[in-house]
Amino acid sequence: MKVKQQIIPALLGALLFPPLGFAGHNHTGPQANTHAPIGVMGDHTHKTNEWMLSYRFMTMEMEGNRSGSSSLSANEIATTVPNHFAGQPMQPTTLRVVPTKMTMDMHMFGGMYAPTDKLTVMVMVNYLKKEMDHVTFQGMMGVNRLGNFTTKSEGFGDTKVSGLYSLYNDGNHKVHVNLGLSLPTGSISKKDRVLTPMGMRPELRLPYGMQMGSGTYDVLPGITYQHYQGKWNHGAQYMATIRTGENSKDYTLGDEHKLNAWISYAWRHDLSTSVRLAYLDVDNIGGADPKMMAPVQTTDPDNYSKERLDLYAGVNWATQAGHRFALEVGAPVYQHLDGPQLETDWTLTAGYQYAF
């Protein structure tokens, strides 16, 4: 924890006061540094008639639970955290099923095209795979463990269509606005088999966090800034996901606000490394899917709000012919969960982009 407390001010310092004195060079050939770290979406615009295809693989692992910023054991959850549905028939007073671990894999396919220097259009399609491990406690109370089970879901997520409009570009400073729409192509009715505290194994609709999409049309506004100075590049981006209306299952996922700040250094024309800080704020779910009713934290629409600060390290490699390979790994330095919720442990993003 001490180390983390020292890293953050050092990084913020580096972001706010990038080293000065690097004269700008106009290199020809590949420029690894002209891109933000691979975990940042919609970071750049293209020149007239330029195309880009991209593929990203992202994996995230979450293990152990927290409420607020402090850890909660499975036994504590099963004996002390009230069940959202207590008082209804067959419902225990505390939670009796506890998620212990979740992994999420995401395959992201993207296309970009610039009809003009000012405007770049972008389409992103995602394929998601989620897995959640649970422990079921026996009966209405106590800490006898009945067994473990894993639920899985996979499929296409929501499809994002965006426009990136360049507001300012003098070669060294660039600013563009992002405006996108997320289309509800992801399923919100995925099911799997669970183990109940009574020892039954029904197939139920999976909770909110295990579904593939939001079920609503979401507006994605944002703004991106980048500054190039010799071998240094630093940038910042604000992006939001604003939900509109209610989905067919009577709920609305929480809005999301994301703030990114990064700095990268080019060791060679074709190779750069980066550090990034990402702040994420997610709201709770509004409304509720009447089919998601079980003594488990993930069926409570009020257990989805969170704030998280992630620290990432990344590497970009660009080849002569418009190919770029990049990798970024990160972990939270701070997370505050309206919980109990599973805590995020680490994230990895690997990507390939081809511009032509």
Binding residues for Cu ion (CB under 5 A): 52, 112
- Tell me how far, at minimum, the Cβ of 46 lies from Cu ion, in Å: 6
Closest CB to Cu ion among 52 and 78?
52
Nearest CB to Cu ion, comparing residues 112 and 277: 112
CB closer to Cu ion, 52 vs 220? 52
We find the least distance from the C-beta atom of residue 4 to Cu ion, in angstroms, to be: 33
Q: Closest separation between CB of residue 255 and Cu ion, Å?
A: 26
CB of 58: closest distance to Cu ion in angstroms? Answer: 17
Query: Which residues have a Cβ under 8 Å from the Cβ of 18 and sit 6 or more positions away?
Result: 227, 229, 232, 234, 263
CB of 107 to Cu ion, least distance (A): 18
Residue 52 or 212: the one with the smaller Cβ distance to Cu ion is 52
Q: How far is the CB of 277 from Cu ion (least distance, A)?
A: 23
Q: How many CB atoms lie within 10 A of CB 152?
A: 14
Task: For Cu ion, give the closer residue by CB, 101 or 107.
Answer: 107
Comparison of 36 and 266: residue with beta carbon closer to Cu ion: 36
Q: How far is the CB of 316 from Cu ion (least distance, A)?
A: 13
User: CB nearest Cu ion: which residue?
Assistant: 52
**Separation CA 222–CA 17 (nearest Å):** 24
Between 187 and 274, CB nearer to Cu ion:
274
